[in-house]
Amino acid sequence: MHIDVQFFPFPPSPHLLSDRTIVVIDVLRATSVMVYAMAHGAKEIVPVKTVEEAFQLAKTFVRNTTLLGGERESNRIEGFDLGNSPGEYTSEKVAGKRLILTTTNGTRAFHSVSSAAEILVGSFFNVTATAHRCLEGERDLLLFPSGDEGNFSLEDTVCGGMVIDRIVKKVKKPVTLTDTSHSAHILFQRFQANLVEAFYLSSHGKDLVDRGHGEDLPYCAQVDITNMVPAFKEGVIR
């Protein structure tokens, strides 16, 4: 099994996508929101790139079946039902509902890897289940941190490193790591005793604190609160 990590959120080369499992990771906060919402009974999530697209798509569904969620500049979008803090996505609000989600980094990432064989939604909330699902797939793996506005993201890479850690501890076959997957694993090892420390050091974590969303940092650092591993297929996360 070959494990690679793409450190920058550019659309990967086609040869990195075909016949691979991709794990999209945006722990602050898009993939944390997705995993949390699906674990709390959401029916499905449609990640879209723009606010306009979200409003247009919502009009095509029956009223009250669909909620709009996401952020721009880390804040809830005017006219949307929910922001981008996972704790908002309670069973009372999301059970049985379709969510249309648009965020700065995370939702876009799914569209840039859409030709892959299998696309999973990873976060600390479901990190061990994600690793085990990757092992079941038996495909080579590309971890895809969604980044911070086009830049390398420390916290997403640490989460990718934790997926690698869980895989290498369980896998029976030989695993080959690249320079980036070795590095992600080492970065996870540095922060494993205190994951939230990586969040507070990171540029995006500091930015969230400055914008009044500091409570989301320890929240998103919770590990293995669910076994659910949502997958993105044909434009929809289920």
Our finding on whether 179 is near a second copy (CB under 8 A) is yes
Rounded CA-CA distance 128/131 in Å is 5
State the amino acid at position 91 in one-letter form. S
| CB-CB contact of 102 with 47 (8 Å) | yes
How big is the site for a second copy, counted in residues (CB under 8 A)? 22
**Residues 112-151: x/- map of binding to a second copy (CB under 8 A)?**
------------------------------------x--x
CA distances, 178 to each of 119, 143, 192, 225, 229 (Å): 20, 12, 21, 29, 25
Q: Are 162 and 125 in contact (CB under 8 A)?
A: no
Nearer to a second copy, 192 or 226 (CB): 192
How many alpha carbons fall within 13 Å on the CB side of residue 120? 27
Which CB sits closer to a second copy, 52 or 179?
179
Residue among 83 and 160 whose Cβ is closer to a second copy: 160
Give whichever of 74 and 157 is closer to a second copy, judged by the CB atom: 157
Contact indicator for 36, 101 with CB cutoff of 8 Å: no
Q: Where are the beta strands (DSSP E) in the chain?
A: 2-5, 20-25, 44-47, 66-70, 98-102, 118-122, 140-145, 176-177, 232-233, 236-237
Least distance in angstroms from the C-beta of 183 to a second copy: 6
Q: Of residues 53, 56, 170, 201, which one binds a second copy by CB under 8 A?
A: 201
Binding residue for a second copy (CB under 8 A) from 116, 125, 157, 165? 157
Binding segment for a second copy among 71-79, 111-119, 181-189, 212-220 (CB under 8 A)?
181-189
Minimum distance between the CB of residue 37 and a second copy, rounded to whole angstroms? 27
Q: Is 173 exposed, middle or buried, given 0-12, 13-18 or 19+ CB atoms closer than 10 A?
A: exposed
CA distance 102 to 198: 25
Tell whether residue 170 is a contact of a second copy (CB under 8 A): no
Encoded amino acid at 210, one letter: D
Query: Measured between alpha carbons, how far is 174 from 180 in angstroms, rounded to an integer?
Result: 18
Among residues 2 and 93, whose Cβ is nearest to a second copy?
A: 2
| Residue whose CB is less far from a second copy, 129 or 158 | 158
Candidate residues 11, 88, 112, 152; the one interacting with a second copy per rule CB under 8 A: 152
* Residue 118 CB, nearest approach to a second copy (Å): 24
| Interface ranges with a second copy (CB under 8 A) | 7-8, 148, 151-154, 157, 177-180, 182-183, 186-187, 189-190, 201-204
